[in-house]
Amino acid sequence: MKKRTLNTFVALILATMLVSCSGGRVRARSEARILEVAAAVETEPVNTGGDAADDATVWVNPADPAQSLVIGTNKKRGLAVYDLTGKEIQSLADGEMNNVDNRDTLVTASNRSNNSIAIYRINAETRRLENVAAAEIRTIEAYGSCMYKSSKTGKSYYIVTSKQGVVEQYELFDTGKGVSAKRVRQIKVGSQLEGCVADDELGYLYVGEEDVGIWKYSAEPDSEPARKEVDRVRPGGSLVADVEGLTIAYGSDGKGYLIASSQGNSTFAIYRREGDNTYVKSFRIVAGSIDQVTETDGIHVTTSNLGSQFPNGVFIAQDGTDDKGKQNFKLVPWQLIVAADERR
């Protein structure tokens, strides 16, 4: 979502006043923790103008990681599939897709055209998406979405968020004639939501309440709706509204990082994946051979080896204003964001 709300401007004004009153100490402390990196690859722009690109996910090709795919949403048209050079190799005009996620070859997206679950499978031989939905599955008014695969039961889930502050969780299953889903859980979070991400190994669901902050729930559908606050939008803090995309960088032994798009100041906040999700640092994507990234919606990261260009994985960010006009996605080598001694 692209908006600069009154709350955002008030927060920025308050932050400026706070810096002034503290002799600049808050700004110095914050700026010192903002890393600057540049993208190595950008995708071809989406084929519609305005605020169109939104979210992305990565399918890691097990046979040849360098032949992995980036799948991005065009919320005015459908989905676009790119190779790791940023070239579009497939376009699907299947509706107003907002967020997309995958588990192995299964891909889901929130279709805002009819508030339904778009379901595809990646054909590993052709590297193309194929629609495998058994039937149309309607949800609440769809906005953001993510997936969860339980390490406890092995079941896979589609999770959808809404502008009304409600989350719904659907169990995905094969009918023999395609993939269908049934609702197994509803959570009332609060105000407008979009970004979400689930930690398959640790069993947590993170939800971004755009003007408020990040909440942590159990991802199991039979869990109580108890939650913990990860971080909150506040003057001088690491999050400036809107809180947008969320993603998880998996490390070994339950370690790694939770990353959030802080759209209001075009930065990305990094938190520990383990424990109480302690804040680590923030970074921004600046201009290099490729233009800078601003006002990001969706983000995605994988720590898998994707070949010579991305041996430690890749971070992907939607760019709200591309220098070539129409929006696109930027790819940053993961090792530029997290140093070798931090990759755990």
The first and second tokens of residue 236, run together, are 């001088």
Q: What are phi and psi of 13, to 5 degrees?
A: -65, -45
DSSP state of 16: H
Query: Higher model confidence: residue 225 or residue 227?
Result: 227
Higher local confidence (pLDDT), 138 or 339: 138
Tell me, what's the pLDDT at 33? 76
Mean predicted confidence (pLDDT) in 74-88 = 98
Mean per-residue pLDDT, 197-207:
98
Which domains are assigned to the chain? Answer: 6-337 (2.120.10.30)
Rounded to the nearest integer, the mean pLDDT of the chain is: 92
Radius of gyration of the chain (CA): 19
Contact at 8 Å (CB) between 238 and 29? Answer: no
Token pair of 267, please? 């930065």
Q: Which of 27-36, 66-75, 105-114, 266-275 bottoms out in mean pLDDT, i.e. has the lowest?
A: 27-36
Residue whose C-alpha is closest to residue 160's, from 137, 174, 139 = 139
Evaluate if residue 20 carries a pLDDT over 80.
Answer: no
Helix ranges, the chain (H) = 6-21, 25-31, 334-337
Other beta carbons within 10 angstroms of residue 305's beta carbon come to: 14
Cα→Cα distances 72→25, 107, 257, 284, Å: 40, 11, 22, 21
pLDDT band at 108 (very low <50, low <70, confident <90, very high): very high
Closest residue by Cα to residue 160 from 177, 178, 130, 184: 184
pLDDT number for residue 66? 97
Q: Which tokens is 94 given?
A: 């299947």
Is the pLDDT at 64 greater than 50, yes or no? yes
Residue 344's pLDDT is what? 58
What's the rounded Cα separation, in Å, for the pair 265 and 296?
10
Judge whether 118 and 133 are in contact, CB under 8 Å. Answer: yes
Lowest-pLDDT range of 37-41, 194-198, 277-281, 320-324: 320-324
Average pLDDT of 165-171? 98
Alpha carbon distances (Å) from 298 to 43, 148, 318:
14, 17, 6
DSSP reduced 3-state for 72: strand
Question: Mean pLDDT, to the nearest integer, of 186-211?
Answer: 98
Tell me the pLDDT tens digit for each residue of 226-282.
Answer: 999 999 999 999 999 999 999 999 999 999 999 999 999 999 999 999 999 999 999
Q: What is the pLDDT of residue 339?
A: 79
> What DSSP line would sit under 166-209, residue for residue?
EEEEEEEEE-SSSEEEEEEEEEE--S-EEEEEEETTTTEEEEEE
Cβ–Cβ under 8 Å, residues 264 and 318 = no
Q: Model confidence over 116-141: pLDDT tens digits?
A: 999 999 999 999 999 999 999 999 99
Who contacts 299 (Cβ-Cβ below 8 Å, separation ≥6)?
A: 55, 56, 244, 245, 246, 247, 259, 260, 261, 268, 315, 316, 317, 318
pLDDT given at position 12: 42
Model pLDDT, residue 25 = 32
**Token pair for 285:** 């994507």
